Structure 1
């Protein structure tokens, strides 16, 4: 289950500071970046944090993206030689300023007008006309996240870079299957795929009463699941699939057993592509030995680090099928920790997830009751700022969209899964400025999440 990741997050460091800085402040160039966007409804979204400007009783703060909730939508329109951003919830009220603070003001006030200047790469500066004072995120204090209230200040650099993200971006036509790039495709993904009670034990007593799935790995593959989230723990027998701990677990399954099932499936279905996400609590040498037990793994393993993806973008599905490279394995482990151990996992083909993906927070709340549909980065805290909007020149990370709760309760999962397409389109897609590549759910057999995957695979995000 993903819950332990919250505890692990503080211990897992990000990729190198230089790589993160480049990823945060130099997004990929976008068509039309030399002009102010047309009139319409937008999110004013920080290029540094990925959070949205929201009206909070007159104060403008950066909040976690929440779709059309939380007063985060603004209607952009020209006004003389500048522009206004009128609240979509309160006509006549605009995003403006009072001194060095961002505030909502009357749209008729001079303080409501902004000079919007393209910065390139689809980013913009919003300045008070006739000055160099810009709408900005406040600097981050040591040991804390960026403050919520937004400022209007000079000399703030990238903290004054904003996306104007359409509230409902028009999708483009989806290319034929073989010409779709990997980042254009959406895959059904099973959260805690091993915790199914069919293939073997997965948790200590009582915890095992709440399986995340109720079908084995082979049936999941047959049903169209193409992403598998697996927790691995180290025992004298190698890397074992268990939740939290393998202590007291009856008949646990070894990682190599499930990987062999996946490899055998791929060899029998040469057009299919599968991704494995490891919540990884084992030493790199133990993981390498486990992978060495999987027959035929090297024939299907996909290595984006060796095929120019960072420079040229993701390959097409046709290219992956032609090359036979159709299994991508990620680890949530830290590259820095592995360096100190003397063996990095990408040396034997396991990619560090933070270098290749973005991912939203792993939980929508407890197993029952109301849910939190906000969509924000799992990797945004006092130590790390990796926004969902992260891009690099020529490269767009894959987007893992988590859509599950702390505990898997069948009735709740059925309700949540029925709302998956709506959350993906209205909340998470604009939050990340990209389509989800992986839709991760509990109990994929309930609530028809396959319909959401099918819907997302009918268009591309601009």
Structure 2
């Protein structure tokens, strides 16, 4: 992907900033390096010691990049970082072999929806993934035989005009465990309390340009409060309503700004509904995509949301089926969206607080909802997590400085879209800072073709 252009300013992200597009479509076989990304699983075909297997997308670190080369009778798929090595077959198994050897020529045919089949010439056998294993093999046509040829390096193009750019084209700075800041009140017992995820309170976060807030809710004395891991031993945790009120008050005082709240939700729907009811003005700014046909029509323009004063989305990580099994009221009946119906999200941890990290970018919800989940009408919002199990200042500083590279080279190809919510610990640390990275992401869109 083209290098990010880093902006100098650190102004808060407003609805009128440049935005990003999601998804691309192309029928021609690419003449550039691609990831063979299974449409059903979202995983990439990788050379794994001579066999080919589905692995979590991992940028340039796992022999996952392939270059289609036209040859007599079809194409070869040459591994980009293993000279002379191509995708081949042995019986029904996918393997790697010397380019030009028997079994290294394939047909590559558009299968619609920006997908392709990779077939054995003259047969009805195709490269297929597996829904329940890492296997890549030969098999019949079907969903598991459809592959995205996802560009390793996406081209970029000019930004849509301010009156047309959509919600799914914007990136927002997001604070992981925004409440665990050591400034607004107690959030955890010892020793977790020694490792706050943020160093500034919610009001300061808003002033600094944070627009996404990850909050963990628990029930204490019949109301939703904010704690990390549990509320055991936590004296006077901050009520959810307190932080929501701060966000709503800011939005009302700043027309044109937009925010989202992501609840790691351990409370009943009745407790959550009661807490939200105590937030003055919440209903005025709350945006309800479920009531506006977004799932079939797509996300609205940011200018439209601004004009109507619809400035806040609230998500819960609970599921509709889980609430029904518990006999609870569906949360979206009072405006809290079930997150996995509207977003995709990568796994939350890059590893422990020190040492090496895992930059692979794969779904928090596994192959049931790959990061690449998409449709022509509706593009799920992409929540990109970029943090570790524990918040260590020196580690976070280094990780946040590498955020542009991971967002651009690892997670955007894995999701086939730019991040909409870039979630980090200690957003004040790093060079460039996370806000600078967000501003840079908001200066271009992915090109509609390569």
Normalising to structure 2: TM-score of the pair? 0.92
Cα RMSD for the two superposed structures: 1.3
Within 1, Cα distance between the matches of 2:23 and 2:134? Answer: 28
The answer to whether 1:128 aligns with 2:120 is: yes
Paired with 2:201 and 2:23, the residues of 1 have a C-alpha distance of 43
Q: Could you tell me which residue of structure 2 aligns to residue 323 of structure 1?
A: 308
Q: CA deviation at 1:126?
A: 0.4
| Structure 2 Cα separation of the partners of residues 271 and 179 of structure 1 | 15
> In the TM superposition, what is the alpha-carbon distance from 1:193 to its structure 2 partner?
0.1
Cα deviation, 1:326-356, whole Å, max 9, x if unaligned, reads: 1000000121122232410000000000000
Contact 1:124 1:161 in 2 (8 A): yes
Residues 1:418 and 2:401 are matched in the alignment: yes
Q: Secondary structure at the match of 1:179?
A: coil
Match of 2:344 in 1: 358
TM-score under structure 1 length normalisation: 0.90
Identify the residue that residue 436 of structure 1 maps to in structure 2.
419
Match of 2:229 in 1: 244
Instruction: Please report how far the alpha carbon of residue 431 of structure 1 lies from its aligned counterpart in structure 2 after TM superposition.
Output: 0.4
Q: Deviations over 1:338-379 (max 9, x none)?
A: 223241000000000000000000000001110000000011
Secondary structure of the structure 1 residue equivalent to 2:379: coil
Aligned pair in 2 of structure 1 residues 227, 414: CA closer, same or farther (>3 Å)? same
Q: 2:359 is matched with which residue?
A: 373
Which residue in 2 is equivalent to 1:4? none
- Residue 192 of structure 1 deviates from its aligned partner by 0.1
* CA distance in structure 2 between the partners assigned to 1:135 and 1:270 by the alignment: 51
In the TM superposition, 1:280-359 aligns within 5 A as 280-340=265-325, 341-359=327-345
Whole-Å separation in 1 of the counterparts to 2:289 and 2:395: 37
The 5-angstrom pairing of residues 132-151 of structure 1 reads 132-138=124-130, 140=131, 146-151=132-137
Question: In structure 2, how many angstroms separate the alpha carbons of the residues matched to 1:49 and 1:298?
Answer: 38
CA contact (8 A) 1:311 1:393 kept: no
Q: What does residue range 57-456 of structure 1 map to in structure 2 within 5 Å?
A: 57-138=49-130, 140=131, 146-155=132-141, 157-340=142-325, 341-380=327-366, 385-447=368-430, 448-456=433-441
Give SS of 1:277's match: strand
Match of 2:45 among 49, 53, 75: 53
User: What is the distance in 2 between the residues matched to 1:90 and 1:263?
Assistant: 53
Q: Using a 3 Å threshold, how does the CA distance of structure 1 residues 29 and 227 change in structure 2: closer, same or farther?
A: closer
> SS of the residue aligned with 1:40?
coil
- Cα drift, residue 29 of structure 1: 9.1
| C-alpha distance in 2 between matches for 1:342 and 1:148 | 37
Note if contact 1:29-1:121 (Cα within 8 Å) is conserved in structure 2. Answer: no
SS at match of 1:337: helix
Label 1:257 to 1:178 Cα distance change in 2 as closer, same or farther (>3 A).
farther
Q: Shift of the alpha carbon at 1:31?
A: 3.7
Which one has more relative contact order, counting CA pairs under 8 Å at least 6 apart?
2
In structure 2, the gaps of 5 or more residues are: 1-21
**Separation in structure 2 between the aligned mates of residue 54 and residue 31 of structure 1, nearest angstrom:** 23
Q: CA deviation at 1:91?
A: 2.1
